[in-house]
């Protein structure tokens, strides 16, 4: 099942793990890359960070990579309360570089970024999904996704 809706904040860590892990595992079988991007917020600007990413960042990214704001790029965002708020974003898209991501984020929001290509092994997928959903102890806030592949979720995750 492909999730085409941007969900409201879902505070359940196990559901987040399942969604991140199933997407990473699924996309590992394809040639297109998945990137793990961490975006931080400066002090006092953590409100609305999801919206900054989903609207401003993604529109600029689409424009830079495809010369169009209407290309659908699958992603999942996990928000934590580390520092002033950190988005761990997994984006399925070729052509991302740290400098491109950094330039776009700097236009919108002054914060630190990192951009890493995700490995394609099951161990890589499991470790990353576990880290962003469960490994943050009490810092997990919630997650959202857009067109990210998710296998059917059992009632234990709801």
Q: Render each residue's pLDDT in the chain as its tens digit; 158 residues.
A: 333 333 443 457 888 888 999 999 999 988 889 999 998 877 766 567 777 888 888 889 999 888 887 888 999 998 888 877 788 999 998 888 899 998 988 888 777 888 999 999 999 999 999 888 876 666 778 888 888 988 776 545 44
Quote the pLDDT of residue 92. Answer: 92
Q: Domains along the chain?
A: 2-151 (3.30.70.1910)
Residue entry with tokens 């609305």 = 48
Residue 56 near residue 108 (C-beta atoms within 8 A): yes
Q: What integer best gives the mean pLDDT of the chain?
A: 81
Predicted TM-score (pTM) of this structure: 0.83
Rounded CA gap, 43 and 90, in Å? 24
* DSSP-assigned letters across all residues of 60-88: HHHHHHHS-S-----EEEEEE-STT-EEE
Q: Is the dihedral of CA 96, 98, 99, 102 positive or negative?
A: positive
Residue entry with tokens 């860590």 = 13
Q: Is the dihedral of CA 95, 98, 101, 104 positive or negative?
A: negative
Quote the pLDDT of residue 3. Answer: 36
């Amino acid at each position: 099942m492909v999730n085409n809706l941007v969900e409201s904040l879902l505070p359940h860590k196990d559901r987040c793990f399942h969604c991140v892990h199933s997407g990473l595992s699924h996309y590992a079988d394809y040639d297109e890359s998945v990137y793990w991007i961490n975006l931080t917020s400066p002090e006092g600007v953590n409100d609305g960070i999801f919206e900054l990413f989903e609207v401003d960042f993604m529109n600029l990214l689409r424009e830079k990579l495809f010369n169009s704001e209407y290309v659908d790029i699958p992603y999942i965002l996990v928000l934590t309360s580390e520092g002033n708020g950190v988005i761990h974003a997994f984006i399925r898209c070729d052509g991302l570089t740290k400098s491109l991501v950094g330039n776009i984020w700097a236009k919108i929001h002054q914060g630190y970024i990192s951009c890493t290509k995700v490995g394609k092994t099951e161990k890589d997928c499991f470790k990353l999904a576990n880290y962003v959903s469960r490994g943050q102890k009490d810092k997990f806030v919630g997650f959202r996704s857009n067109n990210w592949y998710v296998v059917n979720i059992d009632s234990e995750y709801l």
